[in-house]
A and B are shown apart, each in its own frame.
Chain A
Amino acid sequence: MSGLRILVPIKRVIDYAVKPRVNKTNTAIETNGVKHSMNPFDELSVEEAVRIREKNAAKVEDILAFSAGPAKAQDVLRTAMAMGADRGVHVLVEDGVEGGELEPLGVAKMLRKIVDEEKRNLVILGKQSISDDSAQTGQMLAGLLNWPQATQAAKVEMGADDMVTVTREVDGGVETVKMKLPMVITTDLRLNEPRYASLPNIMKAKKKPLVKKTLEEMGVDVGRRLKTIKIAEPPARKGGDKVEDVDGMIKKLKELGAI
């Protein structure tokens, strides 16, 4: 196997445990003062990259973490470095400056550029961001690069001759595919259990290189194609009705026409 030069794109999102709120003007999700973290699927990507190095010591040349987003995206890059990434690239994109969040196509185009500049041969991304739930970026990047893709990976095995075997989560079960580097992988929840960054590693991560770039420096067209018309609360369910016992449950279900 040739040397692996891994790229791990990560996104800063509202923490998964927080219930997001729509703002008063129905134009955005309230982010002020809300806890943010690394997108959970991206933690799996970082973890997988680090495990590939641990299992194939000599073969991983380096692990580069990348994030495009507001200044605070650097926090998640530092987290990735504390988990084991070697260095980071941050492209500063202030929220709302481009008329909202970056879209998957724009991010994929930036990633293509990074792949070229940094001579990457393996990109590991999360299968979706828990904010916009689009689940597109990895596939788009693979399409732009014309590389093979293994999405929703539950198991990744690096083999000889640059061949990689991936078990994917599909409807009704799993399927296994085999492909050659360079390639794109997107991670599913069952791929691994991300480690916590230890305090010494957090300290070390502060000294790892982090390159900051502007969108202009990236020179990639990330103009939005989708216009947000509005963001609304979903219709509320009127739940909360309790019954005393199993008989009450059956009676109520019959009344509601459910059985």
Chain B
Amino acid sequence: MFSISRSTALRQARTSLRQSQATTVPHVSSLARLLSSLAVLEQRDGKLNTSSLSAVTAAQRLGGSVTGFLAGSSVKAVAEEAAKVKGLEKIIYVENGAYDKGLPENFAPLLVENIKKGGFTHILAGNSAFGKNVMPRAAAILDTQQISDITGIESEDTFTRPIYAGNAILTVQSTDDIKIITLRQTSFAPAETEGGSAEISEGVDPKAESPTEWLSEDLAKSDRPELATATRVVSGGRGLKSKEEFDRLMPPLADALGAAIGASRAAVDSGFADNSLQVGQTGKNVAPQLYLCAGISGAIQHLAGMKDSKVIAAINKDADAPIFQVADVGLVGDLFDKVPELTEKLKA
């Protein structure tokens, strides 16, 4: 089979490289010819989810050819949109409404069939709710150990990823023939949506039954920038005391900065803010130009989600709060005075 011979060739190339230069990491481009990556793209209601284009960027860094994958109803139009994405050589699409909700029970077999048919060596998707749900299932079907939430690529088989809530960075080498990878979207800027001209073709549709029925969703609506991709984020914690105070103080500050709103788990658990706004190890990862937070202590689990922000600013009345150890700009004071004052002065 084509896919097997291809991966065997890759493995041989890798082995011989290692033997000839035991101490150096093989250079990515020397293997690029043999690499072929599949970037799993997300779409919603006929619109391409541009943050999923981070997978294209990561695939390009690996070298080799990059194919985009899309599935859903009326997805042909999305495929045409995606064909313009810079760096994509091909688009494979499967038009079938059964894939609209990204249910893992049928989406994982769909991916697996298309991976096998195309002989791809690397499969990449964002570490989004969709990617987290579907990719490990596909990996298990392929008997492959997935590499989750990578933040760096050292070579075609070696990747870096944070572990222990970002308190350590693991460099790991995969020995699997097919690499299934999810990536941290803040570490790979989405590929440009113009300048490409990919060839579009239809993929295989195994039409696996989904035993799962999708019933409904309840998504927080907001005119503000999306938290995960915003260039500025203002974030509130338990120090805000109540939902009323959170709603009174944080939105005006966010508006003054054109920022998205985030929250700590304590704020979310206490009902001050929606679940989907939680920043941290078990919430969203953000890496904006500015992360400005008030009433957040800076627990390990919170820092995990915002430590890679360009500039961190914090307002907290406790001068010893751990957040100050990472903040570039720290202001010790009562947020109920400081936040309104800051908002007014920023507007002026």
A-to-B contact residues, CB < 8 Å: 14, 16-17, 19-22, 29, 103-105, 108, 127-128, 130-144, 148-152, 154, 165, 168-180, 188-190, 224-234, 237, 239-243, 245-250, 252-253, 256-259
Task: List B contacts of A258 (CB < 8 A).
Answer: 232, 289-290, 310-311, 313
Question: Roughly how many angstroms separate A224 CA and B172 CA in the complex, as a whole number?
Answer: 11
* Given A136-B139, A144-B140: A29 in contact with B216 (beta carbons within 8 A): no
Question: Roughly how many angstroms separate A242 CA and B229 CA in the complex, as a whole number?
Answer: 27
* Given A176-B217, A253-B311: A140 in contact with B140 (beta carbons within 8 A): yes
Question: Roughly how many angstroms separate A226 CA and B152 CA in the complex, as a whole number?
Answer: 16
Task: List B contacts of A173 (CB < 8 A).
Answer: 217-220, 274-276
Partner of B324, one of A144, A179, A229, A240: A240
B143 touches A232 (CB 8 A): no
Given A229-B172, A239-B328, A259-B257, 18 new contacts (CB under 8 A): A21-B167, A139-B104, A140-B139, A143-B138, A152-B133, A169-B275, A171-B276, A177-B212, A178-B213, A226-B147, A226-B173, A228-B172, A229-B173, A233-B169, A239-B326, A240-B324, A242-B324, A249-B342
B213 touches A249 (CB 8 A): no
Interface size class of B (residues with CB under 8 A): 35 or more
Partner of A22, one of B101, B168, B332: B168
Q: Does B9 contact A (CB under 8 A)?
A: no
* Given A149-B137, A237-B326: A226 in contact with B145 (beta carbons within 8 A): yes
* Nearest neighbor of B220 in chain A, beta-carbon distance: A173
Interface of B is mostly: mixed
B275 touches A179 (CB 8 A): no
B146 touches A136 (CB 8 A): yes
Encoded as 1 (CB less than 8 Å from any A CB) or 0, chain B from 323 to 348 comes to 01111111111000010011001100
Partner of A105, one of B143, B162, B313: B143
Task: List B contacts of A22 (CB < 8 A).
Answer: 168
B132 touches A135 (CB 8 A): yes
B330 touches A180 (CB 8 A): no
